Amino acid sequence: MANKFSAKGGKFKFAAAFLIIAAAAGGGAYMWLNRAPSIQYKSVPVVRTTLQSTIQATGTLNPVETVDVGTQISGTIKELFFDYNSEVKAGQLIALMDSATQTAAVAQQEAQLASAKADVLDAEAALEVAAKDLRRTEELAKRDLIAKADVDSDMSTWLRAKASLEAAKSRVQQYEASLESSKITLGYTKIYSPVDGVVIAKNVEEGQTVAASYQTPSIAEIARDLTQMQVEVNVDEADIGGVHEGQEAEFTVDTFPRDSFSGSVSQVRLSPTSEDNIVTYTVIVKVDNPDGKLLPGMTANVSLILDKRDDILVVPNSAFRFKPVSASQSVEVGPPPGPGGRKSNVAEVTAPTVYLLNNKNQPVKAEVERGITDGQNTEVVSGLEEGQRVITGVILPKEDA
């Protein structure tokens, strides 16, 4: 009987032990299957480097000085002695206009002048005759051989002859001036370069008729010196307060994306431009172009340097945007939960803050003092040391299939 109870007790103990082991295994499996995924953070070290704060804008490259060469008369372009990119010298003949009309006008004025000079000679002869008649009449009058009325008549004739001579001389001066004007107009049919330079625009072709009735037609545009260029930059009104003459600038152009060009602000124009309620100001940046790589009309992506600091601590701007969340929330995707849902465990920030990783791989808040920024990185004046790693984001764990 005792053996029976002993066997039953042994079976009971074995079953209890089995149940305990099974429960422990089930609990472990449950905890394993429902464990919270660990969070992995993206981090970068605090580095020491050079940083500059800039204003970004775009502009157009142009020669510092360009001259529009025009024609002051209407007519037909007869010959052109230049083309695009032609190098010209000051005083060089670059175009001829049809001069038939102007040549005829000069010939007409010369004929009129010759006629006027002949009239002067005729008037001088008439005056000489009148003067002799007057002297003769005055001698006879002294001897009482003729009436005084005859003297008065000869005096009148002499005065009219004298006036006719002066009028003839005036007409000579008038025709001389007209002839000079016609010669000047004839000279306008020959167009000369006013400066040394390079032709960057050709606005007419041979045989083309130009009209100068209301404005001077341009036949060419000459850049005086392509080794000196300027960028006309449009700066927003919100940024113009930080721009001043002598300020350094850097820019790139699309055709040389790996090359950086430098210049300096030479002028901040006070005349604003308003388009679609956006107010901009034109800033002129002078640029040296000794090798001629920069061409007129190129679009320049300009950085106007506001401040530049060397050997300073910097962190990415993304470090200031990072805010820690709980492990379960770090894997959630989609819109925030509605009323009654869990709230994000975001630390309250009252000062510029970044987060560091402690030895337990947990984020630790560090308040810092910020300095200048270039839009991608920001200077840290205090609160961090070189080499510390700041968190810039979270690596979301992959879900098991």
pLDDT digits (tens, 9 = 90+) for 267-323: 999 999 998 889 999 999 999 999 989 999 999 999 999 888 898 999 999 989 988
Dihedral (Cα; 121, 126, 131, 132), 10-degree rounding: 110
Instruction: Tell me the β-bridge partners of 288.
Output: 228
Region of residue 73 (left: phi > 0; alpha: psi -120 to 50; beta: else): beta
Model confidence at 97, pLDDT cuts 50, 70, 90, reads very high
Half-sphere exposure at residue 349, Cβ-oriented, CA atoms within 13 angstroms = 17
pLDDT at 365 over 50: yes
Burial (CB count within 10 angstroms: exposed 0-12, middle 13-18, buried 19+), residue 320: buried
> By percentage, how much of the chain surpasses pLDDT 70?
83
Segment 61-79 shows an average pLDDT of: 92
pLDDT score of 347 more than 60:
no
Average pLDDT for the chain: 83
25 confidence band (pLDDT: 50, 70, 90) = low
Task: Return phi, psi of residue 336, to 5°.
Answer: -60, 150
Q: What's the confidence (pLDDT) of residue 9?
A: 52
Residue spans of beta strands (DSSP E) within 75-158: 75-80, 87-88, 93-97
In this prediction, residue 15 carries a pLDDT of 53
How many percent of the chain have pLDDT more than 90?
52
Q: 228 forms bridges with which residues in the sheet?
A: 288
